[in-house]
Structure 1
Amino acid sequence: MTKIATITLLFAILMTSCVSKKKMNQVENQKTALEQELSDLRSEQQNSNDNYAELEDEVLSYKQKIANLQGDAENKIQLTDKGMLVSENTKSNVRKVFSKMPVDQRSKANTLEDSINLAVAYNIKSNLLKQMKDEDKVADEAIEITVEEPIVRITLTDKVLFKSGSYWVDKKAYNLLARIAEVINSEPNMDIRVEGHADNMKISESSYIVDNWDLSIRRAASVVRTLEDKFGVGGDRLIASGRAHYYPVADNATKEGRAKNRRTTILLLPKVDRYMDILKK
């Protein structure tokens, strides 16, 4: 073999060796990258599992507060997750509560979930009525509770909260608001929105109240101040809003309808910021 041929062969062998080593390095780099990606995915999955568990704890805590609102009801109903099996004990309690409810209320239930929510609402109302003592007869007609998991809506007509023509909370409502505040204060991850509503009657021109916007906002703010000043609910958790006469629940053409429309709604809401913080982790 000539010297040139020898050099050529050696160069070819060297090039082959270099190419193989280069490919090997590429494979090693790809392997390392895939291992890192797999590790990141596992870490992300673990974080997601932890966040989901934390969310479940938050929901469970909120449901417990709803259970507390029912007080010591003999047939207390526990809210269940949608799609999950309901225990026979829960079904039995719902049937017992339904036996005490007026027919028109029972007729609103189209599903088992509806039945559970109605039974929970009935228990909450019964417990809140106990706080009214001598005002039970008036309060029974003037308090409405609805549960749309995970939101509790407490609607109070003005005769429960205010004297005629006033926007200052009447002291007779303090026992009721104290009970609501007790539940609110036991659950820090809950926001409270208070909405004032009015009928469509125009305010007298001689009144210090400008219009229905003014009235509904003043009444909502008065309830908020009472919860904060009298019962220690943190002001940073309270939201006061007025809806004027734009969301009636009854016919404003009748005296009875207008009385129902003059109302204040207290909504107990899971704290959205809290849930968003968990999801961002």
Structure 2
Amino acid sequence: MLKNLILLSVFALLSTSCVSSKLYKELEGKYSNLKSDYDELSSSNDQEILQKKELEQQLSMLQASFEDVQSERDLLLQELAALQKKYDNLDAAYTALEQNSSKSIEENAQKNRELLAQLEAKEQALAAENERLMRLEADMQERAQRIAELEALISAKDQAMTALKNAISNALTAFEGKGLTIEQRDGKVYVSMENKLLFKSGSWAVGTEGKKAIQQLGKVLGENPDIAVLIEGHTDNVPYSSGGQVANNWDLSTKRATSIIAILSQNENIKLENLTAAGRSEFAPIATNETKEGKSKNRRIEVVLTPKLDEISKLLNTN
């Protein structure tokens, strides 16, 4: 939302005076930098969700391995008990046969030594498996804790974005039914304003009613300084043909986005480095361009609000 307010401010400034080449290039450079930051944040968010899924898969595999090792340990315990019983029987037989020939005694003694060696080997194997189980269990606990921390962070971000969406909805109540929609999906908040609320046909100057909406949005963004704001300008598929300072739909959609930023930038509580302006022209429609109503919906400004993901990135980069 911060980005939308700033874009509206920039559009207002651009619309009321001729835009110099130097100012336009500065805006283009700022857009490029902010777009890069936005792409990086989006990529980081996708990687974090992917790493969470990988951690959950690893935890599942560790759980299966843990159960297999437990089964092996139980089998070793059974074998150990059977060997112990066999050893006890042979020891009893040895005692009973002590009065027999020295050959029989030697044979029993040899069997006893072999059984003792087997018992010792089984005990060592059991000790090794127990140690392995302990390591696996510690690893599982560590990964489970990291998953829990990730889930808590993601949940906190989602709750914060829900609160932000509600705050924006409350702030823009007066503009309901005037081409305004607000929704939350994929961990982000999307505020869409049709051009009929903001601009006249072919213009990038924000009207009085639209300026009020952007300023209300800016108040909420000023209270949420850690939100990245992407302002996107969209058009229908009718080629721009009025000439003048606008070359085509790409140019018009970009100028409208920067006009929104111009309005937002007037709010001192909004961090300008969090704002990004983008022109999408006609290539991201939300409705058909075959009808008048569909074209009207496609001519819009879309404000995309994304939470900062620094804490999640730090957690994912921890070994």
TM-score scaled by length of structure 2: 0.53
Quick check: 1:180 aligned with 2:220?
no
The alpha-carbon deviation at position 166 of structure 1 amounts to: 3.9
Q: Match for residue 158 of structure 1? A: 195
The alpha-carbon deviation at position 157 of structure 1 amounts to: 3.6
Is 148-157 or 41-50 further displaced after alignment? 148-157
Amino acid at match of 1:34: L
Q: Match for residue 209 of structure 1? A: 246
Aligned positions, number: 216
Equivalent-residue separation in structure 2 for 1:56 and 1:231 (angstroms): 30
1:251-270 equivalent positions in 2, closer than 5 A: 261-270=298-307
Is 200-209 or 16-25 further displaced after alignment? 200-209
Q: Match for residue 126 of structure 1? A: 173
Quick check: 1:144 aligned with 2:180?
yes
Unpaired runs of at least 5, structure 2: 1-99
Q: Match for residue 126 of structure 2? A: 27
Q: Match for residue 274 of structure 2? A: 237
Equivalent-residue separation in structure 2 for 1:200 and 1:51 (angstroms): 42
Contact 1:51 1:278 (C-alpha < 8 Å) held by counterparts? no
TM-score scaled by length of structure 1: 0.58
Contact 1:55 1:278 (C-alpha < 8 Å) held by counterparts? no
For the pair shown, which has the larger CA radius of gyration, 1 or 2? 2
Unpaired runs of at least 5, structure 1: 72-123, 130-139
Quick check: 1:56 aligned with 2:92?
no
Change (3 A) 1:274 1:143: farther
Quick check: 1:42 aligned with 2:78?
no
Deviations 1:25-83 (A, max 9, x none): 11011011112212322333233233323332222222222222243xxxxxxxxxxxx
Amino acid at match of 2:181: I
3-state DSSP of counterpart to 2:224 = coil
Q: Match for residue 277 of structure 1? A: 313
Alignment RMSD: 3.9
How high is the sequence identity, in percent, across the aligned residues? 21
Contact 1:54 1:278 (C-alpha < 8 Å) held by counterparts? no
Change (3 A) 1:252 1:125: farther
If each structure's helix is expressed as a fraction of its own residues, which one has the higher value?
A: 2
Contact 2:225 2:271 (C-alpha < 8 Å) held by counterparts? no
Change (3 A) 1:210 1:252: farther
3-state DSSP of counterpart to 2:241 = coil
Change (3 A) 1:36 1:269: same
Q: Looking at both structures, which has the greater relative contact order when contacts are Cα pairs under 8 Å and sequence separation is at least 6?
A: 2
